[in-house]
């Protein structure tokens, strides 16, 4: 795994064969290299992408129950 000039794990993981353990370690090394603010930004961006994807595929918010007077 290469490290960039900023000291962060970077690059693209290239393996000759599938190795789930090494893939997980690669991902975790990347996430450990992020600052707290970058982690939150990533989390919010991914949450927004997920919500947009659900809406595109017809999974909208359920209809609210209205209280009758």
Structure confidence at residue 45 (pLDDT): 97
pTM for the whole structure: 0.58
Question: Which run of H or of E encompasses 44?
Answer: helix 36-56
Structure tokens of 42? Answer: 């990533």
pLDDT per residue rounded down to tens, the chain (69 residues): 444 445 555 678 888 899 999 999 999 999 999 999 999 999 999 999 999 998 898 887 766 776 776
**Under 8 Å CB-to-CB from 13, ≥6 apart: which residues?**
1, 22, 23, 26
Structure confidence at residue 21 (pLDDT): 94
Structure confidence at residue 7 (pLDDT): 53
């Amino acid at each position: 795994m290469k490290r960039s000039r900023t000291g962060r794990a970077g690059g693209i993981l290239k393996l000759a064969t599938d190795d789930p353990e090494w893939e997980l370690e690669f991902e975790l090394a990347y996430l450990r290299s992020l600052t707290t603010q970058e982690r939150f930004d990533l989390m919010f961006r991914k949450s927004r992408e997920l919500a947009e994807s659900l809406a595109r595929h017809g999974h909208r918010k359920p209809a609210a129950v209205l209280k009758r007077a």
